[in-house]
Amino acid sequence: MAYGYKIGSIPLTTVQRFASYLPALRDMQRQGRSVVSSASLAEMLRLEAIQVRKDFGYLGITGRPKTGFQVDDLIGAMEHGLSWNRVSDAILVGTGHLGTALLNYRGFGYHGLAIKAAFDIAPDRVGALINGVQVQHLDEMKPFMDAKMAILTVSPESAQEVALRLVRAGITGIWNFTGRTLLLPEPIVVQDQDIAIGLAVLSAKLTARAREAIEAESKPPA
């Protein structure tokens, strides 16, 4: 459970970095590398080595001086910490362009997520088969015994109503791509994925980079 900026005892920012460490470590594993240093991983991901060592400390793993960390141990600990070592079933509601793209994304399997059902109300979408998942009408949605997570990609106007239907169907966690703030009972966990926020951050970074370049060019030579 998330408390403030922590998930359990691990800071949220550390959990987010785990998701960046794992692909890099899996690449090393496929290449046959058994050991990695915090310095080399930090350089690869543009982090500080001390931050990497601190993050690994939350996993209870320490490296050997002048040797580094065991790649297999790190992968196993992170997969366990993120629950990616076991498959979680999910459903998806809203099979427009974004929903269809997510259904076709094959990377979820690497993160322990399996989309078992998809729902929509549009007549031209209901009945379609997308990456092996048949789209059902939203009215056919019933409580799911296994799936407790839903990916919500409907329009902002219908997001609140559909989210409440998901809660009534037994969903306890919603990955929200609608851009709408959902007002749901306290036990329900919502993770907002707002494209507008991501674009705003990227634009701000580009503006800052351009400003720095202009300032650097305007400085007189030493």
- What per-residue confidence (pLDDT) applies to 222? 62
Q: Using 50, 70 and 90 to split pLDDT, how confident is the model at 44?
A: very high
Residue type, position 197, single letter = I
Q: What span, in angstroms and rounded, lies between the C-alpha atoms of 188 and 23?
A: 29
Q: Is the pLDDT of residue 7 over 70?
A: no
- What per-residue confidence (pLDDT) applies to 16? 83
For residues 144-149, give the mean pLDDT: 76
The DSSP code sequence of 148-176 is -EEEE-S-HHHHHHHHHHHHHTT--EEEE
- What per-residue confidence (pLDDT) applies to 2? 39
Q: Using 50, 70 and 90 to split pLDDT, how confident is the model at 85?
A: low
- What per-residue confidence (pLDDT) applies to 145? 57
Q: What span, in angstroms and rounded, lies between the C-alpha atoms of 143 and 146?
A: 9
Q: What span, in angstroms and rounded, lies between the C-alpha atoms of 209 and 203?
A: 10
- What per-residue confidence (pLDDT) applies to 215? 81
**Domains within the chain, CATH numbers bracketed:** 2-81 (1.10.10.10), 88-196 (3.40.50.720)
**pLDDT > 70 fraction of the chain, expressed in percent and rounded:** 93
- Give residue-wise pLDDT tens across range 123-142: 999 999 999 999 999 998 88
Q: Do 81 and 55 form a contact (C-beta atoms < 8 A)?
A: no
For residues 184-211, give the mean pLDDT: 84
Q: Which helix (H) or strand (E) element contains residue 23?
A: helix 12-30
pTM of the predicted structure, to 2 decimals: 0.71
- The tokens of 184 are what? 């749901």
For residues 47-76, give the mean pLDDT: 88
- Give residue-wise pLDDT tens across range 162-193: 999 999 998 999 999 999 999 999 889 998 98
* Higher local confidence (pLDDT), 138 or 144: 138
Mean pLDDT, the chain, whole residue set? 86
- What per-residue confidence (pLDDT) applies to 86? 66
- Give residue-wise pLDDT tens across range 92-120: 999 999 999 999 998 888 777 899 999 99
Q: What span, in angstroms and rounded, lies between the C-alpha atoms of 93 and 136?
A: 9
